[in-house]
Amino acid sequence: MKMFLLGAIFASSIILAVHSRQTSQQSSQQGGQTQQGGQTQRIPLFENDDVKVWKSVIIPDAPLAMHRHEHPRVIVAMTGGTMKIVEDNGPTESHVWETGKAYWLPANPPNTMHADVNAGDKPIEVVVVELKKEN
């Protein structure tokens, strides 16, 4: 049952990610503000008792504010790049996210915070599906 639920969540994240990407492209084609000239942001897409889904757009040199993740999550890279995860106590790790691929990230360790820093020169766009329940 758990595997079925994880599969359904993953499939839903792909569908939401594709829809989100199409909406962004349509907005750009219709003269909407492009992410290049935009700002780093987190856009809620869906939430229920089991999952929380959002899109994050991280502009170069404009990190997301310090935060933490209490639950594990799937990241779907809509526009990939290299993301530096900067811990509040000093350590930094880099993640290379390829466009169109999905990645599993565990919950953050207790009492830690981090900022997401785009190490590239183009915006990184990801859809995040965070599990609220682990069982």
Can you give the CATH number for the domain in which 88 is found? 2.60.120.10
- Distance from chain centroid for Cα 41: 10
Would the pLDDT of 90 be above 60?
Answer: yes
> For the chain, what is the domain count?
1
Least reliable range by pLDDT among 13-22, 36-45, 80-89: 13-22
Least reliable range by pLDDT among 4-8, 66-70, 77-81, 126-130: 4-8
Q: Residue 95 class from Cβ within 10 Å (0-12 exposed, 13-18 middle, 19+ buried)?
A: middle
pLDDT classification of 46: cutoffs 50, 70, 90 = very high
- Taking the C-alpha atoms of residue 73 and residue 121, their distance in angstroms, rounded to an integer, is 26
CA–CA distance from 88 to each of 17, 48, 105, 115 (Å)?
29, 30, 18, 8
Domain that holds residue 60: 2-131
